[in-house]
Structure 1
Amino acid sequence: MICSISGQQASDPVISPKSGAIFDRKHIESYISTAGTDPISDQPLTVEELIAVKTSVSEVIPPRISSATSIPALLSTFQNEWDALALEVFTLRKQLYKAREELSAALYHHDAAVRVAANAIRERDEAKAALQELAISIGKSEVGETAEAVNNSENGNGKAIAGSIDEIPAEEINQAREVLFSLHKSQKPVFDIAPDAQISVEFIEKKGQPFKKSTASFLDSETKSLLVGTSTGQLAKFAFAGEGDDILTKSTASKGTITAVNFVLVESEPLPIIAYKNKIIIGQNKRTFKNNHSGAILQILVHPKLTNLFITLGEDNVWALHDSIREQSLLYQSPMSDSNIRTGDFHPDGALFAIGNDSKEVKVYGTSTAEQMTVLEPFYTNVIKVKFAPNGYWLLVGSTDGEKSRLDVFDLRKSTLVHNITFEEPLRDFVIDPSSSIVVSLGGSNTIALHKYIKKGKQWKNNYSMESFTNLSTLQAIHLLTNVNDESFKNENEIRFVGVAEDSTVQEFNLSYG
C-alpha cells in the first residue's frame, strides 16, 4: 500500500474516512497535528477518525527503540527526517497547485479587463470622430441657414437672426446644472404602492370658470399657482395652497389673445410672464418686452433654476433665449426651421431642452451652447407634447396623425425607444408623477388613463386604469399639482393634478388607492 503523502510503501497504513486515501500513520498524524485537516480533501480530520488497515495477523511484538547512540536509532532518525521532508514536499506541491489556479484566474480577469478597456477606448475614439464630423456638418448647415435668413431678410421675405451664442451665460447654466443634478440625485422620490394595488382617478371638485374660453394655461407645482389666459387679454390666477383656495382675475395692460403663460422669479417673487401676439409682459404691467418673433408665441419655457432665463417658441419656426434681467432681453435666436415648431420642455437639470415639430422630429439642444445634441423620431408626424421625466433620463413624446395617437418613451442615455403607449383617439395631454412611475394621459373623449411603470423588473402596464368623465367640461390640458417636496407625496403617495377645460373651467383630481 502506497502512502498518498510520501509515495512510499506504508509501514502502518491507515485510511482517511474523509477522502478514502491511504496514508502511513506517522505521516498523516504529523500532518493532522499541524493542519487538522485531510491532506487530500481539506476536510476537518482527527487522529481518532483514522481507520487502521490490517496487513497481517502476526502477534510478534516489535523490538523496543534503542538509544540514539546505536546504529538502528540513527537510522530511525534519518527515516524520521526523510518522512518530514516528504511531508513538506507534499505541502509545497499542494500550495503550488493552488497558486497556479489562482494565478490562472487572475490572468484571465486581467485579460478580460484589458479587452474591455480597449473596446471602451475604441468606442470613445469613434464617438469623438463622429461628434467632430457632426459638429462640422452642423456648422456648415448653420452657416447656410444664416446666410439664407439674411438674404430673406434683405429681400423682405424673412427675419434676420438676432443675438449670438457668445451672449448665452454658459458658465451660469453649467453651475446651475451641477446644483440641480446633485439635488435631484439626493431626493430619489419613491412611489410606495404595491404593484398589484388598485389605482383610479378621482374627481375632487370644480374650482371655477373665469372665462368663456381658455387659450393658454400653466401650473407651477412649487407655488401651487395656476394661470389661465383668454382671448380678451385677461388672466386668471388660481391658488392651491391649501384651505381657502382663491381665484384672482385681473385685466392685463394689453388687449388681444394670450397665447402662452408661465412664471418667472423677479426679486424672489414669482410673477406671471404673458405672451401676446406682439409683446411679452412680466407681471401686471411691470415690464414689457418686444416680441422678436414674426408670429405669435406658442410656448414659454422657463429655466428650472435660473428663472430669469426663458425660451420662447414661435409660429415663425424660431426659438429664442431671453434674459428678463437684461435691458436687451434677447440673448440668442435660432435660424428659421423648415418644420413647424409645436411644443418644447426644459430638462430637470436645465442643461438641455427639447423641441418637437410637425415633421416627425424631436430635437434636443444644449442650453449653454445652443447646439443640437440629438434628434429623436416619434411614431406619428405631429408632435403634440414633449416632457422630460423627473428621473432625468427619459423623454416622453406624444404624437398623433389626427385620429390615432402614441406616447413614446425615449432613453436619452442611448437615444433609443424603450416603451410606447398607443391610443385609438387623439391624445390631448399627459403628465408624469415625481417618481416617474405613473403617467396620466388625457384622451379626446375626456378619458383619463393611468399607465404604471414598475421599477422591479422594469415593466410597464398600459391603461392600468381608465375613467371617462363625460359629465365634466371637455378638458383641454392637465397639469401636475404634486411636487417632489410635498409631504403628502412623501408620506401618503398623494398625487394631485388639475384639468383646464376649453371653457376655462378648472377642475381638481387625485389618485385613489383601493
Structure 2
Amino acid sequence: KSFQCAPGANPPPPSPKPTPRRCHHHCRRRRARPLEAQPPGDTTVVSAAMICAISGEVPEDPVLSTNSGLLFERRLIQRYIEDHGKCPVTKEELAMDDLVTVKTNKIPKPRPLQAASVPGLLGMFQNEWDALMLSNFALEQQLHTARQELSHALYQHDAACRVIARLKKERDESRTLLAQAERQIPISAAGPAPVAAVTNGKRALEDEVGPDGKKIRPGINPVIIDELTECNSVLSAQRKKRQ
C-alpha cells in the first residue's frame, strides 16, 4: 500500500538494504587452497643452480667442459683459454673443442624489485660502489705488501753483490801477495855437476846434504814466514775496518 504524507510533513526514512551474508567456511577453504604445481616448461629453479665457475652468476650463454664437468660463461672461458690455455679451476689443459653448448630456454630475466624505483637504483649503485671500494682497498694492501717484499729482496741482493765483490777483491790481493812472495824466495845458484855422497848407507846429492850429512828438505824459510804473518795482520785490520 502507498501512503501519502500530509503537506508540510517529513517523508519517512528509507528502509536499509539487507547485507549479504558471507560464508566464512567457503572463504577459509579458498585461503587454504594448495599452491599450484610448477609447469614442466619453467626452468627457473634449474637455471638458479646453473652458476658459472668464474663469475658466480647465471650464465647467459652456458657451455660445459667435457674434461672437468664445470659450467662456464662462453665469453669468459673463451678469453681465459686464449690467454692461458687451461681450465681456471682444475688447471688442466683445455681447448675450445672441449666445450659443449648447453641448450636452455631463452627466458628473459625478471627485473629486480630494487630497480623499479629511483631509491632502489641508488641503493644498488651504493652497494656496488662500496664493494668496488673494498676490493680496491684490498688490492692496495696487496700491492703495498708486494712492494715491501720486493724492496727487501733488492736490499738482500745488493748486500750479497757487495760481499761477493769484496771477497773477489781480497782473493785477487791474496794471489798478488802470494806471487810476490814466491818471487822473493831465494833460488840456489846452479853449480857444477853434483857429486854423490853416502849418508847412512844411502846416496844423496851434494846440494841436498847438510853439514851433518843428512838430507835437507825444501821449505819456506823463517824470513818468508814473518813476511806472510805481517801481511796477514795488515789484511785482517783492513777487513775489520770495512765491516
Sort the TM-score into its range (normalised by shorter chain). Answer: 0.3 to 0.5
Structure with greater proportional helix content:
2
Task: Compare CA radii of gyration and give the structure with the larger one.
Answer: 2
Q: Which has the higher contact order (CA 8 A, sep 6+)?
A: 1
Q: TM-score, normalised by structure 1?
A: 0.19
